[in-house]
């Protein structure tokens, strides 16, 4: 199948504004969009830049906008976005983060929000005397399972209208990460994380738009997790 690929290009050293690069690419229906981007990079225009690492939906580095929706380029099959010869696919950088070049955005503001919620295990109590792990029940482990699936791709945060209107908003990805530790029965820093999320740019800026949940390649029920954090703040109880 020969398809028409439109890629939003921008080199801040040369371009005054972004422009559309247009390419004809031969693909199989079962190729991924990432394969088509590689064809452009490797065989048509070596100046085109994209970010990717694992190519298998694990590392989270290739979130882009495909036909207007945030996706991982390595997970979307051609047959899901084009049907016949001559069909067009558009690929753009994710929104709300500064473009460094072509599809590569500056992820640092995203990771600054991530760090702000203390996304690590905190427990200063002595480890069990028998030298074993801090045990927890299957039910306790299940309570925070969804957040452990997050690969920090930013597809959620950069599809959120609240984040687009104010990039100081901590964003859904950081709330998912906070949730993962707040609801971990072994952790002891829930109160500190909830305090961060109770600030003006915290969880209350979520307007339940659901874009984040729809964009997540790991199918994490993000809006539900955000609701659980709001509930914990409103009631003072972590359940
Ligand atoms: Fe990506 Fe989903 Fe994690 Fe958001 S919650 S960063 S969309 S994996
Ligand atoms: Fe944004 Fe998701 Fe809330 S898209 S407004 S964080 S439900
Ligand atoms: Fe790693 Fe797509 S390249 S998730």
Buried b (16+ CB within 10 A) or exposed e, 67-82: beebbbbbbbebeebb
Q: Answer with the one of 83, 105, 127 that is the final residue of a domain.
A: 105
CB of 152 closer than 6 angstroms to any ligand 1 atom: yes
Strand partners, 164: none
Do 9 and 76 share a structural domain? yes
Do 134 and 99 share a structural domain? no
> How many domains are there within the chain?
2
pLDDT tens for the chain, residues 1 to 239 = 999 999 999 999 999 999 999 999 999 999 999 999 999 999 999 999 999 999 999 999 999 999 999 999 999 999 999 999 999 999 999 999 999 999 999 999 999 999 999 999 999 999 888 878 899 999 999 999 999 999 999 999 999 999 999 999 999 999 999 999 999 999 999 999 999 999 999 999 999 999 999 999 999 999 999 999 999 999 999 98
CB of 220 closer than 6 angstroms to any ligand 1 atom: yes
In SS3 terms, 118-171 reads as CCCCCCCCCCCCCCCCCCCCHHHHHHCHHHHCCCCCCCCHHHCHHHHHCCCCCC
Please tell me the number of the ligand nearest to residue 38's CA.
3
Q: Answer with the one of 72, 105, 138 that is the final residue of a domain.
A: 105
- Which pTM does this prediction carry? 0.96
Ligand 1 atom nearest 215 alpha carbon: 7
């Amino acid at each position: 199948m020969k398809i028409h690929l439109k890629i939003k290009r921008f080199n801040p050293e040369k371009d005054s504004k972004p422009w559309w690069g247009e390419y004809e690419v031969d693909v199989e229906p079962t190729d991924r969009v990432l394969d088509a981007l590689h064809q452009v990079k490797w065989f048509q225009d070596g100046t085109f830049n994209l970010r990717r690492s694992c190519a298998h939906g694990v590392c989270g580095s290739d979130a882009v906008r495909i036909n207007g929706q945030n996706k991982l380029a390595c997970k979307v099959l051609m047959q899901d976005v084009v049907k016949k010869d001559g069909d067009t696919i558009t690929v753009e950088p994710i929104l709300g983060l500064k473009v460094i070049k072509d599809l590569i955005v500056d992820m640092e503001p995203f990771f600054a929000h991530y760090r702000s919620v203390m996304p690590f295990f905190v427990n200063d109590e002595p480890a069990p005397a028998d030298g074993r792990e801090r045990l927890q029940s299957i039910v306790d482990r299940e309570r925070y399972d969804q957040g452990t699936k997050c690969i920090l791709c930013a597809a959620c945060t950069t599809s959120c209208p609240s984040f687009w209107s104010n990039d100081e908003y901590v964003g859904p990805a950081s709330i998912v990460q906070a949730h993962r530790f707040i609801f971990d029965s072994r952790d002891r820093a829930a109160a500190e994380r909830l305090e961060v999320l109770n600030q003006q740019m915290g969880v209350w800026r979520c307007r339940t738009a659901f874009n984040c949940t729809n964009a997540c390649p790991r199918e994490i029920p993000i809006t539900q997790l955000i609701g659980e954090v709001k509930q914990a703040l409103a009631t003072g109880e972590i359940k």
